[in-house]
Structure 1
């Protein structure tokens, strides 16, 4: 038996432009998720914590702290609220990143139900930390992810509905995602910055396309909205390619991809 994984990596190339993921059967007979990285690979369980570990008898740090919080509130109905210390938040953040890697992998595999499960889990984690973290910086470190996770959850719920022909149900799922992001903006008094939030713009644009049945319609004068920035980018990209301005075209293509598939915070 060798510990060297070079042969595995050589037979499974890494593509930096897409999520490279596959499923395998583990030695225990259960399905595993493998995510290819530039310097190796990550293997995750399908259920429970992605690393397969348990925390003091609980499925996760999140479940442990939710249990402690319920016990604390029952024993101290009129006392100080349950508080997460910085080291608690550090454990929860590392765990949340594990779930992020897994739900991105589920999305790439078109395992939408499982992607929806993990994104909903991380949304609840974000809200839990926001309500219970002792330090404001810990709250903000988690809450910055809320628009992205809300968008990914809406996509994971709405996509299979669309594929099944349930257009109205898909729109309702998108509306929930829109409401969650608008709630995020309202929490910080940033409603006027809604048009700067890529995740919200993506969901609203997607909703319009679904409502229009995938067909463009000429708007009535009273319904006029400014040109879609994506359409403007596509026109500029076509012009740059025609004029053989390839460096500009590459930059425009990257920007177009970023707006069509908003990255996570810091991504």
Structure 2
């Protein structure tokens, strides 16, 4: 059996300006999704962890830690709360990035129900880490993505509802996304910066258009298509280097490294 993936990629060119995705039937007979990358391809399962792995008998690291937290609380009703160490957060972050790649793929394929499932899962992960991580820096590493995930969840739920004419249900989904982002700002006392949050501005603008028109309008890509968070960090890093802001560049480089390749557990 050849290990050369050239045959798989032949005739399926990478588009640097879009998300190049497709579904295939795996050798096991199950449907899978593939995301075309510049130098290869990423293949993901539709259900469970995108890489198809299980963790100590659980569907994911997130499920394992939720079970441990419930066992801990039951055994220690008056004791210290369950805590996630930095090595736990590193594994959860790596896993969350897997789900991010998959829900972006589902969005491009217009598999909205699956995009909604995975974005809601990552939202619950963010809030779980925010509640249980021992170190504040680990909480912030996850929580910074809360507005983006809230927006993508609202889009994936509301888009098919509005397209089918269920405007009230669609508007309610958008309102939930707006509420989640506003709660994020309130958690950090940053309500006055609401106008600077692109995800919030997009949802408010989309809601206004739908409510005013009463039609099956969908968000226009030119209004706001969120960038890949990794690409955002790379762009900020390039700007900092070009402007010779080397301390900022070093911090951004560390943040990018943690997101792309979280450190392995130490114990």
Uncovered stretches (5+) of structure 1, i.e. residues with no partner: 216-255
**Pair member with larger Rg:** 1
Moved over 2 A (4+): 262-267
The alpha carbon displacement at 1:214 in A equals: 6.5
Which residue number in structure 1 is paired with residue 224 of structure 2?
Answer: 260
Q: Tell me how large the CA RMSD over aligned residues is.
A: 1.3
CA distance in 2, matches of 1:6, 1:106: 24
Give the superposition deviation at 1:8.
2.0
**Per-residue CA distance 1:58-99 (angstroms, 9 max, x = gap):** 000000000000000000011111000111000000000000
Residue 105 in structure 1 maps to residue 69 in structure 2: no
- Give the stretch that moved more between structures: 194-203 or 11-20: 11-20
Q: Which residue of 2 aligns with 1:84?
A: 84
CA distance in 2, matches of 1:8, 1:62: 32
How do 1:155-234 residues align onto structure 2 when only pairs under 5 Å count?
A: 155-213=155-213
Contact 1:115 1:153 in 2 (8 A): yes
C-alpha displacement of 1:9 = 1.8
C-alpha deviation, 1:142, in angstroms: 0.2
Contact map agreement 1:144 1:265 (CA 8 A) in 2: no
- Match in the other structure for 1:218: none
Equivalent-residue separation in structure 2 for 1:265 and 1:75 (angstroms):
39
TM-score, length-scaled by structure 2? 0.82
1:131 equivalenced with 2:131 (yes/no): yes
Deviations 1:225-253 (A, max 9, x none): xxxxxxxxxxxxxxxxxxxxxxxxxxxxx
Deviations 1:114-136, CA, capped at 9 Å, x for gaps: 00000000000000000000111
* 1:55 equivalent in structure 2: 55
Partner of 1:180, secondary structure, is helix
- State how far apart, in whole Å, the 2-side matches of 1:155 and 1:182 are: 16
Report what 1:147 is aligned to.
147
After TM superposition, give the deviation of residue 260 of structure 1 in Å. 1.2
TM-fit CA distance, 1:262: 2.5
Question: CA offsets per residue over residues 116-170 of structure 1, 9 Å max, x none?
Answer: 0000000000000000001111000000000000000000000000111011110
Alignment check: 8 A CA contact 2:35 2:42 kept: yes
Kindly state the Cα deviation for residue 11 of structure 1 after the two structures are TM-superposed: 1.8
Instruction: Assess if the C-alpha contact under 8 Å between 1:89 and 1:133 holds in 2.
Output: yes
Query: Who is 1:20 aligned against?
Result: 20
Equivalent pairs, count = 226
Q: Distance in 2 between matches of 1:31 and 1:7?
A: 20
How far apart in 2 are the matches of 1:144 and 1:264?
A: 14
What's 1:235 paired with?
none
Indicate the residue corresponding to 2:72 in structure 1.
72
Equivalent-residue separation in structure 2 for 1:50 and 1:108 (angstroms): 16
**Larger relative contact order, structure 1 or 2 (CA cutoff 8 Å, min sep 6):** 2
Q: Deviations over 1:182-214 (max 9, x none)?
A: 000000000000000000000000000100117
State whether residues 45 and 52 of structure 1, in contact with CA within 8 Å, keep that contact through their aligned partners in structure 2: yes
1:148 and 1:263 in contact (8 A); partners too: no
